Structure 1
Amino acid sequence: MEALLYLAPGLIATGCVLGVVQLIRRALRTSRTWAHGLTAEGRCLNTYTKTSGGHDDAVRSTLHHVYEYTTREGERFRFDEVGGDSTVVAGDHVVVRYLAERPQWATALQPARGRLVLGTGALVVFLGVMIVGCVLFAVTVHSAM
């Protein structure tokens, strides 16, 4: 039973650390794509909304776009992106940015470095608070025993 008091916060903290790593990697990849990526004309194939929550929770909707583009080498790629411009609908043409070495990691988001830094920073701070909370919980449990 005692081990469970260390295992649960340890697993939560580990998940938060992995989340921080993923957030930072994604932000760096997006920033690099905006700064050094190639551009291609893409087309929005579909838009859809995912909803979550309900019952006693607030309902949240997330807008997704499915884009297709062709690289300069003639390869065709499709990708699904969260949080794009809500005015883009199926059939619209967009500018797609991609890295030549990783064309599957494309984005149709307009460069917004400040928004990217603020959003990533806020999530990293939140996960950092969770990590600190887990460590403090484990230390408090240890000192109480």
Structure 2
Amino acid sequence: MDTSAKIWKAVVALYGSKTTSKLMFYRRTLHSQRKGELSMKDFLVKIKGCCDHLASCGEIISEHEHITAILNGLSPDYESVITIVTSSQVPYTVQGVVSMLLDAEARQQLVSTEISSSANVVSHQTSDSTV
């Protein structure tokens, strides 16, 4: 019986330390994610993947921590969304934040396309008037 207990203690010690190192790795990875040049969808999938890895190690990430990781990884382009979420009296859900960010990205892309189209029209009109 004594030998069995020693074996189980050794197994727990061996695999427990690997779980601890995995937890530390995944938690560090979660909080170091940055959107950068990724699409919003790809960025959010990376954050979700980190949360899922932590959950697979028995570490459930709260909505608050999940949202914090998302907001901390955003560029100043999303400052308006960050301000709305962080100043709200009622806590947002992860799904609510995800929806806001996907909408904000779509709006930014639309505005960027409109500005680009306007610049092309002005450029085309200028070249027509010089001919």
Q: Normalising by structure 1, report the TM-score.
A: 0.31
Higher helix share: 2
Which of structures 1 and 2 has the larger relative contact order (alpha carbons within 8 angstroms, sep 6+)?
A: 1
Q: Normalising by structure 2, report the TM-score.
A: 0.34
Higher strand share: 1
Structure exhibiting the larger radius of gyration computed from Cα positions? 2
